[in-house]
Amino acid sequence: MAALFFGEMRYDPRDPGNEDNDRFVLSKGHAAPILYAAWAEAGIIPRDAQLTLRRLDSDLEGHPTPRLPWVDVATGSLGQGLCAAVGIALNARRIASEYRTYVLMGDGETAEGSVWEAAAVAAHARLDSMCGIVDVNALGQSQPTQWQHDMQAHATRWSAFGWHALVIDGHDLPAVLDALDQARRTKGRPTVILARTLKGKGISFMEGKGGWHGKAVKKGAELEQALGELQAQFVPEDEPLPKPAAPARRSRPAPKPANLEAPAYTLGDSVATREAYGSAIARLGAADDRVVALDADVKNSTFSDKFEQQHPDRFYETFIAEQVMIGAAMGLAARGAIPFPSTFAAFLTRAYDFIRMAAISNVNIKMAGSHAGVSIGEDGPSQMALEDLAMMRAQPNIAVLYPSDAVSTDRLVEKMAYHPGPAYMRTSRPKTPVIYGPDETFEIGGLKILRQSGSDVATIIGAGITLFEALKAHDELKAQGLSVRVVDLYSLQPIDAASLIRCAQDTNGRLITVEDHYPAGGIGDAVASAVAGHGFTVTRLAVAEIPRSGTPDQLVDHYGISARHIVVAVQGQ
Amino acid sequence: MAALFFGEMRYDPRDPGNEDNDRFVLSKGHAAPILYAAWAEAGIIPRDAQLTLRRLDSDLEGHPTPRLPWVDVATGSLGQGLCAAVGIALNARRIASEYRTYVLMGDGETAEGSVWEAAAVAAHARLDSMCGIVDVNALGQSQPTQWQHDMQAHATRWSAFGWHALVIDGHDLPAVLDALDQARRTKGRPTVILARTLKGKGISFMEGKGGWHGKAVKKGAELEQALGELQAQFVPEDEPLPKPAAPARRSRPAPKPANLEAPAYTLGDSVATREAYGSAIARLGAADDRVVALDADVKNSTFSDKFEQQHPDRFYETFIAEQVMIGAAMGLAARGAIPFPSTFAAFLTRAYDFIRMAAISNVNIKMAGSHAGVSIGEDGPSQMALEDLAMMRAQPNIAVLYPSDAVSTDRLVEKMAYHPGPAYMRTSRPKTPVIYGPDETFEIGGLKILRQSGSDVATIIGAGITLFEALKAHDELKAQGLSVRVVDLYSLQPIDAASLIRCAQDTNGRLITVEDHYPAGGIGDAVASAVAGHGFTVTRLAVAEIPRSGTPDQLVDHYGISARHIVVAVQGQ
């Protein structure tokens, strides 16, 4: 930390907003106190602020979060820092900056697969502006780490993944500085510094011993001894710490949101929302160069390849590795890009811990998941997202969108791009008819009432493919002389509670939700929660069991979310 | 597949239940048709069954699932097969079987970090009964794979992770058989066979070409040509395929569920549920040797180290790698063990895709997550599980338990062990008083009414630490002359809807839920969904925003889930 903050890194302690500052990610977030101490020495925070550590009224939390302007992404879930750093380093290329990205990891966390996803992507992208440092102290929380102090075993793995690996004694300051220097001079591949250390170095009763993870020294004799031993090793401070070299503040054109023309869809066209998503991000990317896209080898299914074709320099391929896709998107977002990572919605579950940390970080990532629900058909349950709405809604600050047609998809892609904070869009595999005119407007937190009359007996609420089942049910019921209201609930979070309550009041207090999703946490729960306290009846149609392979139409009917089931629900109440 | 099913593997095609059959995991689940074809040749399924592929009325789904008795775990989410295989191979040790475990992966999926988590754990455990085969066809779904046909790059990575790596031509049958033979003879470490292949080998317009992923050959001329070219290469079948060698059926004692004595807790003792969990699995492990435990380097926090101390041979350490922890548990469960993987509940999000596939597989895994909610205090949001209930409830077949005291924890650990299918238990960090006597019984799908009177004005529903806030609120309200009912909702899924409805009917239709969890998908939604259609009012107290560091008591109050807030909610209605 001393070598990085007072020898190696170029940054202006008075100007966290300088885009060309070198970046530091404390992947081993539990070491937060050393980060805050470095800042205190650098004059970023007052020294006595450190005494507020972990207090409710302090931003110096137990693990660093972006409440602090020098923190790009929250850490504390191990193995994520290197993934974020990939995105931060990719961003340097995007804005043509020379900044370098440093990541401090523990050796224990290199057991996380996400570290190796990031290692592979960084090597493939030749991210030589990245420097990883592994604090190889050989101690995990509960036991020695897997590879302990076998430095060769560490080096072999990193080299095998295409990194320049250096092994040093982490307590030898000149060796650390030299390694950082070598890393800076290494071109064409990232460097990792494997620093052999002893935990509790210099304190006789701690050094190299287990049982001290997250444990404070006892006040009294134990603390006295520890401080005494450390102080005896201090070289008297004759000179002040060197000041870091600050990069000049470069002026760059102020980014401005795109204002897209209406999309060229015609009512009744048949377009899958996943395809409209691909077209929308490509259009947006042409108008705003902060917009970037990331893929995990399904770009021809999510249609993010439309973006790649138009903007290959802002398209990042992580291959089949969803954790680094989301982690890199977090890093890109933290540095000013507007990243759209996408894959099958089912496979976003692979990155849920990253999504959780993106929510904690409140970064501007714009996720999209395709192939929602049983309507994908024959590929079977492993490819069907049936829990993605629950997973995303569980994070209170993620905007959750679920458009049904191409026009709403296009307009909501634009809205989500400029929505502050994380957002998610669910898209569908089957083609669906365009139901909105090109000038229709959509808001995050809105809904559309598609059918209504003065004599509606119930409100049917759908989104995605079930909206069309609702429209079919409406027509069938109308033929029987029953009127129902039909709502397109394209925004699940935030949700337009007032309009839903009004619909319920207008339709005998009867709401029927229908969704291509498991029952818990999806449209039904979102609606029930929004209208709670009014005594309305919310009837939920959802996929109530683990589904199987079949044709889309068969499955939609078999699992009880087709027009036929909606009709029965309306009649049966 | 020919070499494995008709040369290498020992199995009895007529007896899938033989515990000593060699195991095969098709990690690249999209290649399901070749698996079904091998079975047809082996006489496991009729040949014409293959024509039912992906039909709603067929178990031959788009990706293999355990609806089929020869499939241990569902595949189709890439990178999971090797993790499951680790568990399957560990199980061979547990039952002292000689069976071997084979896993067929694609080269594209080796970009998934989970593959490297499994690789590290398998090498560390010296699982020489495992043999990985990577079909290096160099083509992903949308583009060439990251390492393509650089066989040396593949071999270097596996060797670096401690595997015996063999590079062969995957189209050379004698070479494949020889490699399998070498793998069988290799002791002390697992072997991976890196088989260089060409996708579509032997069909001129397909061989080595992209664009054929998941795409059928067109009927007519294209199909005719493909079949013609393949048939021209067939050696006429003079001899029938060799029959696989079948292992003898060994008789083992029939497993039987433990029937534990009541735990030795005394009313009023102060015990964290996480500690009671550790004691419970250790007790259970002593009574039933199918019970095993897995940890990701937090065993001293989850208290699974109590199990390790008593049963070190059935305790598996994956280090900081949650995906392989859950994946290996799936493999163990599929082969008859009763695995209890546990970590901080927040870090189970890391393995959500595995949990999703465990639900699809309907395997007997018994997950536990500790350190639920803001009540962990100072460590901050990265360590707080606030979405785990939503994540688990979203899977319709996962039993979700949330005990509040040591006795209920102990009894529910036993219940979950013998509950068919996946189950999850949420435990808490703070100590809580023992409120149940040692002979109290608990059921999955039950609840307990702790306070009631004939004049209750509302029902307060809590679990975990909020149950004690509810009890405090009860006493404060009583002092004000207001009676409330208090429910311990220790089982969220399944949920005792009938009792909840009765409580609501008895208490003016007023239900107040309080939970150390985000609002969506937790206790509030579970209750609202269970009582839907009766016109009751469900008031939800939950953690409505991303929290921060602070003391447990401060945070519980600050985020609106303390007794004080419950009192206000009761008074305010």
Chain B residue numbers touching A318 (CB-CB < 8 A): 111
With contact defined as beta carbons under 8 Å apart, do A544 and A551 qualify? no
Q: Residue A262's pLDDT is what?
A: 87
Rounded distance between C-alpha atoms, residue A149 and residue A108, angstroms: 11
What's the mean pLDDT in B252-259? 89
B142 interaction partners in chain A (CB closer than 8 Å): 295, 297-301, 305
d(CA B543, CA B515): 8
Please state, in angstroms and rounded to a whole number, the distance separating the CA atoms of residues B175 and B169: 7
Inter-chain CB proximity A520 and B521 less than 8 Å: yes
Q: How far is B77 from chain A (nearest CA, A)?
A: 6
> Which of B110, B134, B320 is best to mutate for the A interface (most A CBs within 10 A)?
B320
Closest-CA residue of A relative to B120 is: A111
Token pair 């069954």 is found at: B49
pLDDT, position B237: 67
Instruction: Assign A238 a pLDDT band (cuts: 50, 70, 90).
Output: low
Question: Measured between CA atoms, how close is A310 to chain B, in angstroms?
Answer: 17
pLDDT over threshold 80, residue B497: yes
Chain A residues within an 8 Å CB radius of B548:
56, 61, 65, 67
What is the distance in angstroms between the Cα of B515 and the nearest Cα belonging to chain A?
13
Q: DSSP of B152-168, one letter per residue? A: HHHHHHHHHTT-EEEEE
**Angstrom distance (rounded) from CA B82 to CA B80:** 6
Spell out which residues of chain A touch residue B493, defining contact as CB-CB under 8 Å.
520
The proportion of chain A whose per-residue pLDDT surpasses 90, expressed as a percent, equals 94
Q: What residues in B contact A148, CB-CB < 8 Å? A: none
Q: Do B518 and A319 touch (CB under 8 A)?
A: no
Closest approach of chain B CAs to the CA of A390, in angstroms?
A: 6
Q: Which residue has the tokens 């996929």?
A: A543
DSSP B246-261: PPP----PPP----PP
The predicted pLDDT at position A170 comes to 98
For the segment B114-155, what is each residue's pLDDT rounded down to a tens digit? 999 999 999 999 999 999 999 999 999 999 999 999 999 999
| B229 catalytic residue (yes or no) | no
pLDDT digits (tens, 9 = 90+) for B520-565: 999 999 999 999 989 899 999 999 999 999 999 999 999 999 999 9
Q: Is the pLDDT of residue B573 over 70?
A: no
Nearest to A142 among B297, B386, B397 (CB): B297
Nearest by CB to residue B146, choosing from A120, A519, A524, is: A120
CB contact under 8 A, A529 and B521: no
CA distance B473 to B475: 5
B124 contact residues in A (CB cutoff 8 A): 146
A 10 A CB-CB count for B414 gives 21
Determine, for residues A518 and B395 on separate chains, whether the beta-carbon distance falls below 8 Å: yes
Mutation site for B-interface testing, chosen from A136, A349, A357, A536 by largest number of B Cβ within 10 Å: A349
Comparing B381 with B261, the larger pLDDT belongs to B381
> How many pairs of residues across A and B have Cβ atoms under 8 Å apart?
340
Work out the minimum CA distance from A354 to partner chain B, whole angstroms.
Answer: 8
Tens digit of each residue's pLDDT (9 = 90 or more) over A435-490: 999 999 999 999 999 999 999 999 999 999 999 999 999 999 999 999 999 999 99
| Chain B partners within 8 Å of A532 (Cβ) | 528, 537-540
Q: Do B551 and A381 touch (CB under 8 A)?
A: no
- When pLDDT is averaged across residues A551-564 and rounded to a whole number, the result is 98
C-alpha span between B442 and B433 (Å, rounded): 17
Could you tell me the pLDDT band of residue A237, with boundaries at 50, 70 and 90? Answer: low
**Interhelix angle A352-361/B352-361, nearest 10 degrees:** 140
* pLDDT tens per residue across span A4-52: 999 999 999 999 999 999 999 999 999 999 999 999 999 999 999 999 9
Task: Give the active site residue among B8, B322, B414, B515.
Answer: B322
Give the residue from A50, A505, A549 with the most B CB atoms within 10 Å of its CB, the best one to mutate: A549
Per-residue pLDDT reduced to its tens digit, A370-412: 999 999 999 999 999 999 999 999 999 999 999 999 999 999 9
Name the pLDDT band for A214 (thresholds 50, 70, 90). confident
Question: Angle A313-A319-A325 (CA atoms, 0-180°, nearest 5)?
Answer: 75
Residues B434, A170: Cα–Cα separation, whole Å: 48
A chain contacts of residue B65, beta-carbon cutoff 8 Å? 380-382, 548
Q: What does the alpha-carbon distance between residue A541 and residue A511 come to, in Å, rounded to a whole number? A: 11
How far, in Å, CA of B64 to CA of A381, rounded? 10
Q: Which of B298, B380, B537 sits opposite A141 (nearest CB)?
A: B298
Report chain B residues whose CB lies below 8 A from the CB of A56.
Answer: 548-551, 554-555, 558
Under 8 Å between Cβ of A362 and A355: no
- Tell which of B65, B105, B142, B424 to mutate to test the A interface (max A CBs under 10 Å): B142
CB A25 within 8 A of CB A102: yes
> In A337-350, which positions are buried (b, 16+ CB within 10 angstroms) versus exposed (e)?
bbbbbbbbbbbbbb
Within 8 A of B117 by CB-CB distance, chain A residues are 111-113
pLDDT score at A573: 56
Which of B114, B147, B356, B492 is best to mutate for the A interface (most A CBs within 10 A)?
A: B356
Q: How far is CA B420 from CA A27, B66, B366, B426, B539, in A?
A: 39, 14, 10, 18, 33
- Please answer yes or no on whether A161 and B157 come within 8 Å at the CB atom: yes
Average pLDDT of every residue of chain A: 96
Contact at CB, B546 and A156, closer than 8 angstroms = no
Quote the pLDDT of residue A241.
Answer: 83
Helices (H), B288-426: 299-302, 305-310, 322-334, 345-348, 352-361, 388-393, 406-417
Whether residue B405 has pLDDT greater than 70: yes
Average pLDDT in chain B: 96
pLDDT digits (tens, 9 = 90+) for B351-393: 999 999 999 999 999 999 999 999 999 999 999 999 999 999 9
Q: Is B61 within 8 Å of B52 (Cβ atoms)?
A: no
The reply to whether residue B360 touches residue A352, judged by beta carbons under 8 angstroms, is no
- Asked if the Cβ–Cβ distance from A56 to B545 is below 8 Å, we say no
pLDDT at A403: 98
Q: What percent of chain B has pLDDT over 90?
A: 94
Convert the pLDDT of each residue in B141-195 to its tens digit. Answer: 999 999 999 999 999 999 999 999 999 999 999 999 999 999 999 999 999 999 9
CB of B190 closer than 8 Å to CB of B121: no
Q: Is the ipTM of this complex over 0.90?
A: yes
A374: closest chain B residue by CA: B56
Calculate how close chain A gets to B296, using CA atoms only, in Å.
9
Chain B nearest-CA distance from A249, in A, is 33
Beta strands in A445-490 (DSSP E): 448-451, 456-462, 483-488
Nearest C-alpha in B relative to A67: B548
CB contact under 8 A, A29 and B382: yes
Distance from CA of B450 to the nearest CA of A (A): 25
| Sign (positive or negative) of CA dihedral B259, B263, B267, B271 | negative
CB pair distance less than 8 Å for A520 and B525: yes
Query: Residue B216: CB partners within 8 Å, gap ≥ 6?
Result: none
Q: Is there a contact between A558 and B56 if contact means CB atoms under 8 Å apart? A: yes
Q: DSSP string of B366-394?
A: EEEEESBSGGG-TT-GGG-BSSHHHHHHT
Q: Which residue of the set A109, A308, A322, A469 is catalytic?
A: A322
Residues in chain A within 8 Å Cβ distance of B516: none
The pLDDT score that the predictor gives to residue A258 is 86
pLDDT reported for residue A449: 98
Q: What is the pLDDT of residue A113?
A: 98
Buried b (16+ CB within 10 A) or exposed e, A129-164: bbbbbbbbbbbbbbbebbbebebeebbbbbbbbbbb
Question: Given B61, B352, B355, which is nearest A380 (Cβ)?
Answer: B61
* pLDDT(A539) > 90: yes
Chain A residues with CB under 8 Å of B546 CB are: 359-360, 362, 396-397
CA pair distance A305, A311, nearest whole angstrom: 10
> Which of A84, A133, A85, A138 lies closest to A108 in space, CA to CA?
A138
The nearest alpha carbon in chain A to B153 belongs to A160
User: What mean pLDDT comes out for the span A165-194?
Assistant: 98
* Alpha-carbon distance B552 to nearest alpha carbon in chain A (angstroms): 10
Res. A233: pLDDT tops 70? yes
State how far the Cα of B525 lies from the Cα of B493, in Å rounded to an integer. 11
